[in-house]
Amino acid sequence: MDKGRKISGGKYKQQRKKKHYEKVGKVRTVKLKETKKKKIRVRGGEKKTVLLSADTANLMDKKTKKTRKAKIITVIETPSNRFLARQNILVKGAIINTELGKAKITNRPSQEGKVEAVLLQE
């Protein structure tokens, strides 16, 4: 069956165009490079800082409850999509290798403007 067609073969008519707030936003992938941020205007006139690339992460150690900044070396594994790890793209849930050890990203870097991670115990 053709997309956008009725069983009889007739076309479905579009009722209206999408409003601006219904449109899909731009997909931003955070790459492993020198840190680069950008401020964008969001609904209501607010400003949001989005991350375009990053090379450091805020690591929290669960044992000591302390947070430290560490340099990201590489992306080891991304459970959502294995191809993202090959391209060194930082997403939520990705396992990264830092100078302090392995860590798991706990936030959405493309939305929040920083990389937050929890140190994994080995």
Predicted confidence at residue 84, as pLDDT, reads 94
| 40-73 pLDDT, tens digit each | 998 899 999 999 999 999 999 988 999 999 999 9
Q: Which residues, given as ranges, of the chain have pLDDT below 50?
A: none
Across 95-118, b (16+ Cβ under 10 Å) vs e yields bbebeeeebbbebebbeebebbbe
What structural domains and CATH numbers belong to the chain? 24-119 (3.10.290.70)
Q: What is the pTM of this model?
A: 0.80
Question: What is the pLDDT, as a whole number, of residue 105?
Answer: 97
Task: Express as a percent the part of the chain with pLDDT over 70.
Answer: 98
The encoded tokens of residue 40 equal 């964008």
- Angstrom distance (rounded) from CA 87 to CA 59: 22
Measured between alpha carbons, how far is 58 from 36 in angstroms, rounded to an integer?
A: 16
pLDDT value at residue 2: 72
